[in-house]
Amino acid sequence: MADPGACYLEFRGVSKSFPGVRALEDVTFGVREGSVHALVGENGAGKSTLLKVLSGVYRPDAGALLLAGQPQTFRGAAEALHAGVAVIYQELHLVPPLSVAENLYLGHLPSRLGWVRGRRLQEDARARLAALGEAIDPRATVGSLSIGQRQMVEIAKALARDARVIAFDEPTSSLSSREADRLFDVMRRLRDDGRVILYVSHRLEEVFGVCDAATVLRDGRHIRTFPTLEGVDRDGLVRAMVGRSISDVFHHEPCPPGAVALEVEGLMGPGLARPASFTLREGEVVGCFGLVGAGRTELVRLIYGAARATTGTVKVGGRPVRIRGPRDAIRAGLVACPEDRKKEGIIPIRSVLENLNLSRRRHLSTLGFIINERRERASARRQVEQLSIKTPSLAQRIMNLSGGNQQKVVLARWLGGQVKVLLLDEPTRGIDVGAKSEIYAIIHDLARRGVAVLVVSSELPEVLGISDRLLVMREGAIAAALERGEATAEKVLSLALPVAPEPKREASA
């Protein structure tokens, strides 16, 4: 700590691309020793990617990461940890059935001739936790601790590895406000020790409360670093996070909406904090924006019957539908494309043909149960042509297709049927720009034909661009419904960000 103002951690021109996506582009900024530095940005701004570069999970395509002026190349998380860099993720990397002490020293248990030195392990662990002001029994299993306590164990684990740089990824998302306050105390203490703290959060109030400096990322690019947060207000930060023009890719002529196609009233179930109510009209594309964990996916799953709703009614075309499972929804003309394509959308090991015809096999069959190969092929070929799905053959296993083409196959299942309402959960996640615009075209084509479409997305420009109307979700509830004219990026993001110290639910794991 020779020079107290020096940047211990520096990112210099860091770039990282994935097929079809530039996740990080020439990101350059430094983090001072003895400071808590916030990293903010929308979903997909590149924060997680940057953390993964920091922790050695990803190697940057270009640029470098410097610690105390020395460029580092980490070949994996172990090397980063060895160099004193620890990242504490949302999903904590602890082993629940093992004890606290064992977790703290996982991978380097104190041992003699291969035998674990139990007593020493316990004592060391107790001392580490006490240093953080925690009175957790080192013999307790991690599974029996609350989320807040587990986080402390995670921090103690980082300190046990002598980490100089500790990065937190959304650490408070599942903490009660009291637990969060404790965490902030610990963070301040670590800062005063001269460590470097990088803090990623959507909760701007917390950023202002605990951070000394902040860096804003957007679209994988470094937008601005505020060396001090004094004199900066919430709006200023939000403006830096959003401020971008929406490209013409999304341009869409809204058509006059028709009759009410879907009416959701008082729908409540797991993952929602308050009952949800809204309507969709025929020919309307409604966006649904929210930050990660706002309950968007849960809402779609409840409407569609993938999860069971506890209360509430769903009406399709004015008629109430009793939805006990996806089959009931499909029969009523209410269909959905799930968020996780690999897990819930496709049958990876089966052919493109089978995946295309999955939902209407009976319809294409002879006598309702005998496969009519000719008809199946004809129908599939038509869809492959219509949606320009790129596949070497209909017999190709779908897992060998690109993400965009897989998504088109999932979408294609519902075209041509008696679909009235289409719910799309993150239809463009992880697919390249070209395929994205093709999917927007399909969505708008469906809307023109009178289908009501709900598009859930965590990409702000996407929802702003494609939708006629917008629902904003926040912390398990619909926070607002905006018309196309009144929805600006700042307004939407500001509605989606959690409001300050609302009485939070006590988290108990």
Q: Which is nearer to other proteins, 189 or 327 (CB)?
A: 327
Shortest separation between residue 105's beta carbon and other proteins, angstroms: 35
Least Cβ distance, residue 327 to other proteins (angstroms): 5
Pick 365 or 402: Cβ nearer other proteins: 365
Residue 59 binds other proteins (CB under 8 A): no
Q: How far is the CB of 365 from other proteins (least distance, A)?
A: 5
- Cβ distance 351 to 400 under 8 Å? no
- Give the contact letters, 355-394, x = binds to other proteins (CB under 8 A), - = no: ---xx-xx--x--xxxx---------x--xx--x-xxxxx
Q: What does the CA dihedral 87, 90, 91, 96 come to, rounded to 10 degrees?
A: 80
* Beta-strand pair 334-337/421-425: parallel
Position 330 contacts other proteins (CB under 8 A): yes
Q: List the one residue from 254, 312, 317, 326 that touches other proteins (CB under 8 A).
A: 326
Q: How many CB atoms lie within 10 A of CB 364?
A: 17
Answer yes or no: are the C-beta atoms of 64 and 213 closer than 8 Å. Answer: no
Closest separation between CB of residue 416 and other proteins, Å?
Answer: 15
93 to 112: interface string for other proteins, x by CB under 8 A = --------------------
- Say if strands 221-226 and 213-218 run parallel, antiparallel, or are unpaired: antiparallel
Largest alpha-carbon pair distance within the chain? 83
For residues 93 and 350, which CB has a smaller minimum distance to other proteins in the complex? 350
- Minimum distance of other proteins from residue 414's CB (angstroms): 9
Residues binding other proteins: number (CB under 8 A): 38
190 phi and psi angles, rounded to 5 deg: -65, -40
Residues 6+ apart with CB under 8 A from 359: 330, 335, 413, 414, 417
212 vs 425, beta carbon nearer other proteins = 425
Q: Do 2 and 162 contact (CB within 8 A), yes or no?
A: no
Closest CB to other proteins among residues 15, 359: 359
Q: Would you tell me the crossing angle of helices 147-160 and 118-131 to the nearest 10 degrees?
A: 110
Candidate list 26, 181, 265, 344; residue touching other proteins; CB under 8 A = 344
Tokens of 394: 């209909």
Q: Could you say whether residue 413 binds other proteins (CB under 8 A)? A: yes
Residue 346 CB, nearest approach to other proteins (Å): 6
136 contacts 153 by C-beta, under 8 angstroms: yes
Q: Of 396, 450, 480, 481, which one interacts with other proteins (CB under 8 A)?
A: 396
236 token code pair: 């200023």
Classify residue 192 as exposed, middle or buried by CB count within 10 Å of its CB (0-12, 13-18, 19+): exposed
Residue type, 104: L
293 counts as binding other proteins under rule CB under 8 A: no
Q: Which is nearer to other proteins, 201 or 391 (CB)?
A: 391
In the DSSP assignment, the letter for residue 343 is I
Which SS3 state, helix, strand or coil, does residue 131 take?
A: helix
Of these, 138, 293, 345, 465, which contacts other proteins (CB under 8 A)?
345
Tell whether residue 322 is a contact of other proteins (CB under 8 A): no
Residues interacting with other proteins, by CB under 8 A?
A: 304, 306, 325-327, 330, 336, 338, 343-350, 354, 358-359, 361-362, 365, 368-371, 381, 384-385, 388, 390-396, 413
